[in-house]
Amino acid sequence: MPKMKSLLPLAILPLTAIGLTVFADPLPPDATYRPLPTQPFSDVKRMDEAQKPDVMKRQQALFNQRYDMSNRPLPGVMMSGGRKPVQGGVRVKLPAGMTWERLANMSPDEIRQRNLFPEGFKPLPHVKQSTGGQVFPTNQIAEIDRLEQRDLRRFDVDFDLPDHLTPEFPPPIFLTTHPELGDVSRGQVLSFRNYYEIMNGIITPVQMEGLRLLLTPFPQEEFNQTEDRKVAAPSLGVACLDCHTNFHSNAAFHLTPDVRPQSARFRLDTVSLRGMFNQQIHGSKRSLRSVEDFTEFEQRTAYFNGDHVSATRKGVNLPDRPNQVAMMAQMQNIIDFPPAPKLDSAGRLRADKATQQELAGEKVFFGKGRCAECHVPQTSFLDNNMHDLKLERFYRVGEVANDQVVIPDGPIKTFTLRGLKDSPPYLHDGRLPTVADTVEFFNLVLGLKLNQQEKEALTAYLLTL
Amino acid sequence: MNVKTIAVVVGLFAAGPLFAQQGNPAGMMPGNVEAKPGTPAPGQYNPQDRLFIQLAGMGNLGEADAGRLADTKASHPSVKAFARRMVADHSSTNAKLADIAKQRNLSLPGEPQPDQKAVKTHLETLNGLAFDQAYLRAQLIDHQKTVQLLEWEISNGQDAPLQRLAVDTLPTVVEHLRMVQALLAETTGAPPQGLAASQDGAPPPR
C-alpha cells in the first residue's frame, strides 16, 4: 500500500483509499500492548511503597466524596450464611441541596449540563488505575496465607472497600446435586489444603478434579516472578477461587481486559459463579458463549488483562480443553443460587409467604419499574442479553477521576438478581454499595419516576430474591 | 502525622480527589530525580511524555491549519464555525504545551503530522459539500486519535503538568468529537453516531 500511495497523485484517490494509506500514522507504540518495565524490581518496589499512603488516601477521599460509607445494617436482614448483615439505605450522595425526587424530574440533558449527576453513579476507578491488576480483600489474603502460606498482598495498594460493604466471608456453598444438604462449606474457605476433605463423597471424581484445578495457583500479571510483579517475593500465582471464594465473590477487583488504553479501562467487581448453569453469555463485555469458553480464556483475561503477549512472558497456563476445561466447567455448573424460600419455581413471589410490601414491590418490578423486561424471573432474572443503559446522557465524557478517564460503559450483560443481597457492591464495577442504591439508580436512568413508597417496596422485593 | 504528610493531604483535598496522578513506577524514567520517594521532581519526564509533546504538538498545528482552510472553503455555516473553534482551541492548547516544553528545554515540532499534511493537500482540491464532508471525515479520525493520545498520556506519562494538561484538554476534545459527529449527520443525512447519538448537547455553533 505505501508504494501505491507514492505512485498515484493523492487528489485522484477516493477518500476510502486515503483512509487506508494516509491515516496509517501510528499512535504511540505502547498504547495497546503492556509496556515492559524500565526499572529494576527493587526501585519499583521502593517507589510503589512510598506512593502507597497517598494512593490509599486519594481513593478514600473519592469514596467519601461519593458515598456514605458508614456501617448501617438493615435490622433483621442477613446474608445467606447468616454471617453478615445486609447494609441499608441509599449511600450515593446527592449534589448539595438536591433531592432524589427533584433530580428524577430533570431531563438527562439538564442533569449533564448542570453537572448534577451523582458522582457515585459514575464509573468507579481502580484504587490505582495506572497500574490496575488484581486486588484481594484483607480477609482473603489472611486466609490464603494461613492455609497455603501463599502471599496475595500487594506492596503498591491495599483493598479499598470497608469489610461491611462486601459479601460475607466465607460465603456458603449450595450444590444443585445436593439440595438437601444446604451449605456444604463447613464455614471454611475452600483451598488447595482442605478441598478434598470438605468435598469427598459429595462430588464426582470429574468435579473433584475440576475443583483441584480451580484451586491451583498459576502465574498472574501482578503475582509472578518478573520485575513488574507487585508482590514482594516471587509468587506462586493466583487461583480462580482466590476471587470467586467458595464459588461466590469476595469483592476482589481488577480492570476489564476488554478496553484500551489503560486509563479508559473500567473496574470489574468479581461476579458470583452461583447459578451460572442457567446463564448463556459470560463476562460483562466479552459475551463468551459458554462456561467452558470463559474458563479456558480467564487465564489470559482476568489473569493477564487480555494481553496474551504479557501472559507468555510471565508464564501462562493454558488448560487443556477436552479434559481440564470440561472438568472445571462441570464443577462450576453444580453451584446453586442461595435459597429464596419466598419464590416459586418460576421465580414469582408466593402470596402465602411474602409480605404485602414485597408483593407491592413485585408489582412495581413488572409494571411501572419495567425491571422484568430485562430481568426475567422465569430465566433466573436474566434475559441473556447485553443492554446499553446510555448513562453518558447524564454526564460529561472524558472527565478524569483518580486517573480513570470516564468513557461510556456501552452494552453490558444483564446481571441476575437471584441472591442479590449476598453480593454487594453492585453493577459491573461495584459502584453502588447497597440494594437501595440500585433502585435510585434505575429510577433515574430509566426515567421511571417511582414514588418513595414504590421505591421502598421494590427494595424489599429485591431482598427476597 | 508529620508536617510533610499534612501538606500532602491538604494538597490532595484542595485539588479534589480528581488530581494528584499516581503513576506505575515500573514505567518511570530510570535515574530521574524524585521530589519525595516515588514522586518525580518537577520537570522530570519520561519517553512517553516526550513523545506526547511531539505528537500533540504536530496534531495541534495540523488541526489549526485544516481549520483555517475550512474557515475559508467550507460551504455550511456550522462547519465554518466549527473550523474557527478548532483554530482557537488547538492554538490555545498548543501555547500551553509550548510553555511546558520550554520549561523542560524541549522544543515543539514545527510542522503538522504527515497524514494531516496529506489530507490538507487533498482537501485543497475539493469544494462545496464534498469539501465539508471530507473535512469532517478527516476531523473525525483526527479527534478519535487525539482522544486516544490524551488517554495514553494520562496512563503512561509521569510529568504532572503535562498530564494535567491532558486531563484538562480531554473533555474539550471529546466535545469536539461529538460536534464532528453531529455535523457529519447534518451534512450527510446519516443518523448521528458515537456521542452525538446519546447526547443532544448544546446545538453545534452556527
Q: Tell me the per-residue pLDDT of A376-432, one tens digit each, with 9 for 90 and over.
A: 999 999 999 999 999 999 999 999 999 999 999 999 999 999 999 999 999 999 999
Residue A150 to residue A242: CA distance in whole angstroms: 11
Residue A21 within a domain? no
User: Do A313 and A255 share a structural domain?
Assistant: yes
Can you give the residue range of the structural domain that contains A170? 138-332
Between A61, A262, A403, which is nearest B21 by CB?
A403
Residue A14 within a domain? no
- Predicted local distance difference test score (pLDDT) of residue B23: 86
- Predicted local distance difference test score (pLDDT) of residue B98: 96
Contacts (Cβ under 8 Å, ≥6 apart) of A273: A244, A247, A248, A332, A335
Domain C-terminal end among A306, A332, A358:
A332
Residue A239: Cβ within 10 Å count: 22
CB pair distance less than 8 Å for A38 and B148? no
Residue A349 to residue A351: CA distance in whole angstroms: 6
- Predicted local distance difference test score (pLDDT) of residue B14: 35
State the burial class of residue B139 (Cβ atoms within 10 Å of its Cβ: 0-12, 13-18, 19+): buried
Give bridge partners of residue A78 from the DSSP assignment.
Answer: A85
Is A445 in the B-facing interface, judged by CB distances under 8 Å?
no
Q: Determine contact, residues A37/B27, Cβ cutoff 8 Å.
A: yes
Residue B111: Cβ within 10 Å count: 12
* Predicted confidence (pLDDT) at residue B13 exceeds the cutoff of 50: no
User: Do A154 and A113 share a structural domain?
Assistant: no
> What is the end-to-end Cα distance of chain B in Å, rounded?
56
**How large is the average pLDDT for residues A335-361?**
97
Residue A343 to residue A346: CA distance in whole angstroms: 8
User: Do A352 and A327 share a structural domain?
Assistant: no
CB pair distance less than 8 Å for A24 and B115? yes
User: Do A167 and A104 share a structural domain?
Assistant: no
**How large is the average pLDDT for residues A341-366?**
97
Is B34 in the A-facing interface, judged by CB distances under 8 Å?
yes
pLDDT digits (tens, 9 = 90+) for A226-250: 998 999 999 999 999 999 999 999 9
User: Do A323 and A263 share a structural domain?
Assistant: yes
User: Do A247 and A213 share a structural domain?
Assistant: yes
Q: Which three cell numbers stand for residue A55?
A: 494512593
- Predicted local distance difference test score (pLDDT) of residue A16: 45
Between B27, B51, B170, which is nearest A400 by CB?
B170
- Predicted local distance difference test score (pLDDT) of residue B26: 87
Residue A9 to residue B195: CA distance in whole angstroms: 35
User: Do A402 and A281 share a structural domain?
Assistant: no
Per DSSP, A177 falls in state T
User: Do A306 and A157 share a structural domain?
Assistant: yes
Is B88 in the A-facing interface, judged by CB distances under 8 Å?
no
Residue A4 to residue B170: CA distance in whole angstroms: 36
**Nearest-neighbour CA in chain B from A36: distance (Å):** 8
Tell which CATH classification among 1.20.140.10, 2.170.120.12, 1.20.1260.10, 1.25.40.340 matches the domain B3-21+45-174.
1.20.1260.10
Q: How confident is the model at residue B157 (pLDDT cuts 50, 70, 90)?
A: very high
CB pair distance less than 8 Å for A398 and B174? yes
Q: Which three cell numbers stand for residue A420?
A: 442479590
User: Can you give the CATH number for the domain in which A399 is found?
Assistant: 1.10.760
User: Do A348 and A439 share a structural domain?
Assistant: yes
Q: What 3-state class would DSSP assign to A73?
A: strand
- Mean of all residue pLDDT scores within chain A: 93
* Predicted confidence (pLDDT) at residue A462 exceeds the cutoff of 50: yes
Helix (H) or strand (E) holding A454: helix A452-462
Residue A456 within a domain? yes
CB pair distance less than 8 Å for A11 and B20? no
- Predicted local distance difference test score (pLDDT) of residue A31: 84
Mutate one of A8, A33, A39, A130 to test the B interface: name it (highest B CB count within 10 A).
A130
Residue A174 to residue A163: CA distance in whole angstroms: 23
Q: How confident is the model at residue A5 (pLDDT cuts 50, 70, 90)?
A: very low
**How large is the average pLDDT for residues A29-56?**
92
Residue A289 within a domain? yes
Q: Which residue in B has a C-alpha nearest to residue A391's C-alpha?
A: B198
- Predicted local distance difference test score (pLDDT) of residue A228: 87
Number of domains in chain A: 2
User: Do A288 and A181 share a structural domain?
Assistant: yes
Domain C-terminal end among A332, A355, A373:
A332
Q: Determine contact, residues A96/A119, Cβ cutoff 8 Å.
A: no
In chain B, where are the structural domains located?
3-21+45-174
Is B3 in the A-facing interface, judged by CB distances under 8 Å?
no
CB pair distance less than 8 Å for B48 and A28? yes
Residue B98 to residue A369: CA distance in whole angstroms: 53
Closest CA to B52 of B174, B124, B172, B156: B156
Contacts (Cβ under 8 Å, ≥6 apart) of A345: none
CB pair distance less than 8 Å for A47 and B28? yes
User: CB pairs below 8 Å between A and B: how many?
Assistant: 169
Is B154 in the A-facing interface, judged by CB distances under 8 Å?
yes
pTM recorded for the entire structure? 0.92
Q: Which residue in A has a C-alpha nearest to residue B58's C-alpha?
A: A25
Residue A33 within a domain? no
pLDDT digits (tens, 9 = 90+) for A60-78: 999 999 999 999 999 999 9
Residue A452 within a domain? yes
User: Do A408 and A308 share a structural domain?
Assistant: no
- Predicted local distance difference test score (pLDDT) of residue A347: 96
pLDDT digits (tens, 9 = 90+) for B47-102: 999 999 999 999 999 999 999 999 999 999 999 999 999 999 999 999 999 999 99
Is B137 in the A-facing interface, judged by CB distances under 8 Å?
yes
Domain C-terminal end among A298, A315, A332:
A332
Residue A224 within a domain? yes
- Chain B residues with CB under 8 Å of A112 CB are 199, 201
CB pair distance less than 8 Å for B17 and A399? no
Residue A11 within a domain? no
Q: Determine contact, residues A186/A99, Cβ cutoff 8 Å.
A: no
